[in-house]
Structure 1
């Protein structure tokens, strides 16, 4: 098709011979419509979107429309978008709602005013108007000489067929508020029908929506599927033994049904990615075979989609982008057989199926579908899944949209798109536009990390991993000197050590001593020192509980947002009443966000504070595999010689500071029933727990275990210690917030035995990548240790699965990326508030 600016379009209506007027009127005397079809020209284009508040599915479509029409002007009811790189510098013309009270947070409350608002946006000076509408954008006022093309994501769902579901979920089924809501929705329906007449051409995002448009507006529409960035997902033909679902946790997504179904299938493992209002309800239904990962960055989602056996989808969606993304990875889909999934997934009726459907949104129907998939009811080739996903690529969307607009508005010459046509074969992108934007923000971010300890404990090692790998200009404040300061400075992090002696009277499990004037003065000194450093920072990142209190006060004074990385289970089992009260009110009043290192930590904090889900993220710690891989070529006997360990004994290693709740005494008691085994205790009594160490040593002497128990004390080279033993035993008698030692044991390629409690269940799938025991049960522990010593095949299987688990789920890259994104988001909001 030619697009020359000087091309003259001949009217396709042919005049009969002998009827040609020899004195035709001048072109300028022709009716306006005829004039528009004589000389082709580049049109002035306006693009109208409902509202700009988050980069979701509709905004991904809008992004591609802007690329197709790069010179267009953009209009929207409101614009509170924080992620703006995808908008390509467009200035947005907004309505009067933009300036109404609390519009940023409660823009949806102004729905009754939105018809009026959209009609006040003036697009009369444009030739071509393209609306991107799932609510009110299609109601923009246009004249007879303008072409209005509306890309409809859906007619207003909550005003039409989903009205009753919306009222029920909003608790508006009875009473005066219900009557008011019903009147508003009735008004919206009438307005919606009336304004459909001003649209010249409808585009639907699926056949399902085309049927809805026909039902509601009595208009035909052309189907152009939404763009899916399939090139950002790589085909993987080797699948692992777990199922995946990923979505925002809102009622209509039905994630709770999927979780309920898998709870009844204990032999089937499910991974859930996403966050939202329903998170607490969904977490309450979790069983040991279900892992809730919460919000995860794109790289984690992509990785899980590539490795999953199948993607489970229970929503009735208009389209369903995640379903296509899964297929782009070569992953089959098990979906509810209604809505857009019927168009994006090919079942057994197709020669090249890519998934299967279940008929009802019930747990029983999902279970039947999963069991049918397991039995091979449908044979699916990952390559066919990828080929099917290609139908929904960004390139197909752009080409289809421009071709359709040109066909309904042939009087215009469309300008070239902002990007060149995508080649048929291209390299897979390593980052998305959103990741690029996040990286740019992180480069300029200034983080002040605060920790109470100078000792290299688990919390400090995890913080070290973040600080040495995170982008931006980062500094650290410690309340004590020691190996942690040395480790931070060794990787180039600037460290200031404040005098934290005043905190010596604070104990998390026994509360506080009566505060003296000296203690109060010392704490205020810590606040002043932290406050001074925070003034040059965008966000304060506190790593431990006592540091959290100091950092929270400093952040309140300096108006810097504070993010707490929670690495404890805040329950009466671990903390005193006074400490819990302080944690509760600091969290409620002074913290912007909390990062929990496990589901158990998050659940305990939620129970204590009732904090909103959007302020709490679960991010599993990341542990580097490098120290372990460096020792691959070192023989075990060399490592045993290094630490003075017996060469021929079967060694069970315990790696933790010596503390009663860590349960080293349980291992020593189990040793009495395992006469052929030795125990290796790596760790020291760090926080006033010398009495417990003395108790352990006395027990060894009393029971004649002196030649079978090896106290190695604190060790720097944990990787070498772990590779020197045969089994790693984690014996905590109280719930562990996370369980770093377990992942390190997996990276050391040693079978792991762990206590079934707390964050450990996020890491270990029983008898798949480790073995779980009842906390404090000596007999069970002894039995498992005996079983492992006698069964080399079992040890090898646990080692293989454990190593894969540690590498795939607990790598440092995804850990740092997740923490960095949270800090960057909070820092950006903090800068906006400060003006």
Structure 2
């Protein structure tokens, strides 16, 4: 919806709406439109759909309704979509059925609960409610100050005129189960009629469905045909000597009758495209002249539909999209003369005919119709077929539906249909769409390397993920800005436990552990997989996973060795690996090897996925002069600045850089970072070293900084000085993206990023003399700097981009959740 056109004057109600004309009694005074819609504010719209489990006809209608009102919020009983692109990235509010056992595959079994479930979805905050209903969506509860427009694909078929067919197909014609089913359907019918009274205006997808609505609800309905992607098909005037039918092979489609008819017409060729439970039954009836191709991709279907002499359609459908698609190719249709086909095919009694009908669903009627078609084939023009199909285009649907809603809602009278912009999925969107529902767990509230990496995952998967933190801070704020659901749990005394060692939690710490596990398990019951981002989060996640019966994936971002962890912590990691981990994602091969050596974990359940780092914030600074960045950070303009970017911790080796500064008086050091986990004493030691060696004018402590790209682009070189093996080395990739030469310690995951003197320079960990010499060479060698910058940037883009990172993590989480 275009909010720019919703000015104050358009929010005044019209004297009489189209909806009033549909529902008012002749001679009665016109109804007053609710005061809520006269308020000076944006009109709020909710769209309610029955269930989101696939992309079929009803979902194609929903897609175009969303295109008409792109700012509307979505509601549905359940949301188990894989491909979510047609929702344009919108989140969906679901009912309690979403969380019930086996809901993903057995949601239809919860039919008795669906009326209750749809009534629990709260849309009271909206001015306009649009329901897209073939089951219970039209039963959403609305108030007297709300306008409810319901696009009805059909009243609940299996509760009304198709009840007996449904019971027969479900083998529920007799016995206690049959009695229960009939009782439930009776209750559904009563509820269906009662809730029809709360709909202000019905829209039907065909005259056939409008008659059903009149029969069942005693209400008139505006007919707006569903959208067909006519543009996806092109006119073909050259036809070949074969007939085509294409459909899912289920009983009511009557594909078996078409095949049986052609088996009795050996002189005519039939091609069948589709798959389904009736496949073997249909194959058994096929003769040599019938080619059954099974499921085929759209390209193959389109090709055959374009070349076919005619398209055969034997089902009684509410509308029948494939009938229109065939005509969009210029292919005439031979269809059963009942249901929606009567409204989409022009027979020989009309000008510009596009097809013919047969009156009974049996092989004899189909044989007779095909014979008559051959006699009159010269009367069908591909151009006429195409022209007839174009009236059912998606663009036509959007125009008509938007106009209908606008006429029904006085506050929208001056609104304009927003221009249609095809949805462009972001890179990796399919992997994101395929992701299961995820609970991400992290122990920290600060923005460390692990948290920045998780932030990239959350940005991409925000419609599929919720986050639990054990501490508050800037990380929670950054997550909240993405729109993701974030819960901060109180870690209590556990926040003082460090990975380097210490006593196992006792007393209050143990109480905190139990509390965190229970709270995490409670949230995990609503998801498919737990994704632990840090070591402490992994321990809580492993225990919570057992309680909630959910698999746990640990994103390992550490080298689990005595240099990084205490003995008791290593023992806990080994125990958790055996007890509660389904899979491990390692941020480097070095991390994976150390974990395997420690735990003997199954190598098939360990994958290496390099961290992904976005180039956008670095590329955005390319036009900003370095002098401006230095002025902003209060750094000297003419000095050769060497930047260190990490928290202040002894193993990160900032003291090695300071020792190199003593040896190299032509350079300045810039230290970006602060002590985070009880490492304040180390910061004091660094300042004492600076004072003792008179480095105060050449060493610049910037502390914690939010804008790391700006800080990196302000320096001349980036150094990584860890004295123990680094699991990955995010700073190295960031330095490459900043187009700065990088010098790093030769150990751990760093070796998987840097090729010495090609895209960076490697030094011996802890060797200040070698570091000083390397930095001196960089300062004097323009050719070396340019080569490192050029190759480093390409390395960062090609190997450590966010797309491959997100796709890798999403793929693994999906695989684990599906086991």
TM-score between the two structures when normalised by the length of structure 2: 0.50
Relative to structure 1, the CA distance from residue 364 to residue 834 in structure 2 (aligned partners, 3 Å threshold; closer, same or farther) is: closer
Contact 1:45 1:72 in 2 (8 A): yes
What is the match of residue 817 of structure 2? 833
Q: Map residues 95-114 of structure 1 onto 2, 5 A cutoff.
A: 95-114=95-114
Q: Report how far residue 443 of structure 1 moved.
A: 12
What is the match of residue 309 of structure 1? 309
Q: Report how far residue 283 of structure 1 moved.
A: 1.6
Contact 2:584 2:605 in 1 (8 A): yes
Does structure 1 residue 260 correspond to structure 2 residue 260? yes
What is the match of residue 346 of structure 1? 346
Q: Report how far residue 279 of structure 1 moved.
A: 1.4
Contact 1:39 1:411 in 2 (8 A): no
Q: Report how far residue 33 of structure 1 moved.
A: 3.6
| Deviation sequence 1:553-611 (CA, Å, 0-9, x none) | xx997699xxxxxxxxxxxxxxxxxxxxxxxxxxxxxxxxxxxxxxxxxxxxxxxxxxx
Q: Report how far residue 833 of structure 1 moved.
A: 2.2
| Deviation sequence 1:450-487 (CA, Å, 0-9, x none) | xxxxxxxxxxxxxxxxxxxxxxxxxxxxxxxxxxxxxx
Relative to structure 1, the CA distance from residue 437 to residue 215 in structure 2 (aligned partners, 3 Å threshold; closer, same or farther) is: farther
Q: Report how far residue 402 of structure 1 moved.
A: 0.7
Q: Report how far residue 378 of structure 1 moved.
A: 6.7
Contact 2:323 2:344 in 1 (8 A): yes
Contact 2:346 2:355 in 1 (8 A): yes
Q: Report how far residue 273 of structure 1 moved.
A: 1.0
What is the match of residue 151 of structure 2? 151
- CA–CA distance in structure 2, aligned partners of residues 184 and 242 of structure 1: 47
Contact 1:252 1:315 in 2 (8 A): yes
Q: Map residues 270-419 of structure 1 onto 2, 5 A cutoff.
A: 270-376=270-376, 379-412=379-412, 419=419
SS in 1 for 2:132: strand
- CA–CA distance in structure 1, aligned partners of residues 341 and 218 of structure 2: 24
| Deviation sequence 1:37-67 (CA, Å, 0-9, x none) | 6567531010000000000000000001111
Contact 2:407 2:413 in 1 (8 A): no
| Deviation sequence 1:518-541 (CA, Å, 0-9, x none) | xxxxxxxxxxxxxxxx9999xxxx
- CA–CA distance in structure 2, aligned partners of residues 239 and 294 of structure 1: 22
SS in 1 for 2:235: coil
- CA–CA distance in structure 1, aligned partners of residues 60 and 406 of structure 2: 22
Relative to structure 1, the CA distance from residue 437 to residue 253 in structure 2 (aligned partners, 3 Å threshold; closer, same or farther) is: farther
Q: Report how far residue 205 of structure 1 moved.
A: 0.3
Does structure 1 residue 174 correspond to structure 2 residue 174? yes
SS in 1 for 2:8: coil
- CA–CA distance in structure 2, aligned partners of residues 210 and 832 of structure 1: 46
SS in 2 for 1:174: coil
Q: Report how far residue 832 of structure 1 moved.
A: 5.8
Relative to structure 1, the CA distance from residue 32 to residue 10 in structure 2 (aligned partners, 3 Å threshold; closer, same or farther) is: closer
Contact 1:85 1:437 in 2 (8 A): no
Q: Map residues 22-61 of structure 1 onto 2, 5 A cutoff.
A: 33=33, 35-36=35-36, 38=38, 42-61=42-61
Contact 2:206 2:343 in 1 (8 A): yes
Query: Structure 2 stretches of 5 or more lacking a match?
Result: 18-30, 435-582, 587-601, 608-807
Contact 2:5 2:414 in 1 (8 A): yes
| Deviation sequence 1:55-98 (CA, Å, 0-9, x none) | 00000000011111111110000110111111111111111111
What is the match of residue 6 of structure 1? 8
Does structure 1 residue 229 correspond to structure 2 residue 229? yes
Contact 1:42 1:413 in 2 (8 A): no
- CA–CA distance in structure 2, aligned partners of residues 119 and 5 of structure 1: 33
Contact 1:246 1:272 in 2 (8 A): yes
Relative to structure 1, the CA distance from residue 556 to residue 323 in structure 2 (aligned partners, 3 Å threshold; closer, same or farther) is: farther
- CA–CA distance in structure 2, aligned partners of residues 194 and 50 of structure 1: 18
SS in 1 for 2:316: coil
What is the match of residue 203 of structure 2? 203
Contact 1:128 1:146 in 2 (8 A): yes
- CA–CA distance in structure 2, aligned partners of residues 40 and 831 of structure 1: 49
Q: Report how far residue 293 of structure 1 moved.
A: 1.2
Relative to structure 1, the CA distance from residue 535 to residue 392 in structure 2 (aligned partners, 3 Å threshold; closer, same or farther) is: same
Q: Report how far residue 301 of structure 1 moved.
A: 1.0
- CA–CA distance in structure 1, aligned partners of residues 403 and 259 of structure 2: 43
SS in 2 for 1:150: strand
Relative to structure 1, the CA distance from residue 357 to residue 433 in structure 2 (aligned partners, 3 Å threshold; closer, same or farther) is: farther
What is the match of residue 673 of structure 2? none
What is the match of residue 240 of structure 1? 240
- CA–CA distance in structure 1, aligned partners of residues 433 and 100 of structure 2: 32
SS in 1 for 2:395: helix
- CA–CA distance in structure 1, aligned partners of residues 427 and 243 of structure 2: 29
- CA–CA distance in structure 2, aligned partners of residues 129 and 347 of structure 1: 38
- CA–CA distance in structure 2, aligned partners of residues 326 and 102 of structure 1: 38
Contact 2:35 2:145 in 1 (8 A): no
Relative to structure 1, the CA distance from residue 5 to residue 442 in structure 2 (aligned partners, 3 Å threshold; closer, same or farther) is: closer
Contact 2:13 2:33 in 1 (8 A): no
Relative to structure 1, the CA distance from residue 143 to residue 440 in structure 2 (aligned partners, 3 Å threshold; closer, same or farther) is: closer
SS in 2 for 1:214: helix
Q: Map residues 671-682 of structure 1 onto 2, 5 A cutoff.
A: none
- CA–CA distance in structure 2, aligned partners of residues 300 and 310 of structure 1: 16
- CA–CA distance in structure 2, aligned partners of residues 829 and 257 of structure 1: 45
Relative to structure 1, the CA distance from residue 373 to residue 219 in structure 2 (aligned partners, 3 Å threshold; closer, same or farther) is: same
SS in 2 for 1:98: helix
Q: Report how far residue 131 of structure 1 moved.
A: 0.2
- CA–CA distance in structure 1, aligned partners of residues 413 and 14 of structure 2: 16
- CA–CA distance in structure 1, aligned partners of residues 432 and 108 of structure 2: 34
Contact 2:314 2:336 in 1 (8 A): yes
| Deviation sequence 1:686-717 (CA, Å, 0-9, x none) | xxxxxxxxxxxxxxxxxxxxxxxxxxxxxxxx
SS in 2 for 1:334: strand
- CA–CA distance in structure 2, aligned partners of residues 47 and 237 of structure 1: 41
What is the match of residue 94 of structure 1? 94
Relative to structure 1, the CA distance from residue 559 to residue 362 in structure 2 (aligned partners, 3 Å threshold; closer, same or farther) is: farther
Q: Report how far residue 172 of structure 1 moved.
A: 1.1
Larger Rg: 2
Contact 1:115 1:139 in 2 (8 A): yes
Query: Structure 1 stretches of 5 or more lacking a match?
Result: 15-30, 422-431, 446-533, 538-554, 561-823
Relative to structure 1, the CA distance from residue 223 to residue 556 in structure 2 (aligned partners, 3 Å threshold; closer, same or farther) is: farther
Q: Map residues 713-732 of structure 1 onto 2, 5 A cutoff.
A: none
SS in 1 for 2:7: coil
- CA–CA distance in structure 2, aligned partners of residues 415 and 69 of structure 1: 11
- CA–CA distance in structure 2, aligned partners of residues 356 and 91 of structure 1: 44
Contact 2:240 2:308 in 1 (8 A): yes
Contact 1:4 1:413 in 2 (8 A): no
Contact 1:51 1:77 in 2 (8 A): yes
SS in 1 for 2:180: helix
Contact 1:68 1:416 in 2 (8 A): no
Relative to structure 1, the CA distance from residue 263 to residue 443 in structure 2 (aligned partners, 3 Å threshold; closer, same or farther) is: farther
- CA–CA distance in structure 2, aligned partners of residues 101 and 361 of structure 1: 40
Q: Map residues 429-440 of structure 1 onto 2, 5 A cutoff.
A: none
| Deviation sequence 1:207-234 (CA, Å, 0-9, x none) | 0000000000000010000000100000
Q: Map residues 288-687 of structure 1 onto 2, 5 A cutoff.
A: 288-376=288-376, 379-412=379-412, 419-420=419-420, 441=430
- CA–CA distance in structure 2, aligned partners of residues 261 and 337 of structure 1: 17
What is the match of residue 650 of structure 2? none
Q: Report how far residue 4 of structure 1 moved.
A: 5.0
Aligned-residue RMSD, C-alpha: 3.5
Q: Report how far residue 369 of structure 1 moved.
A: 0.5
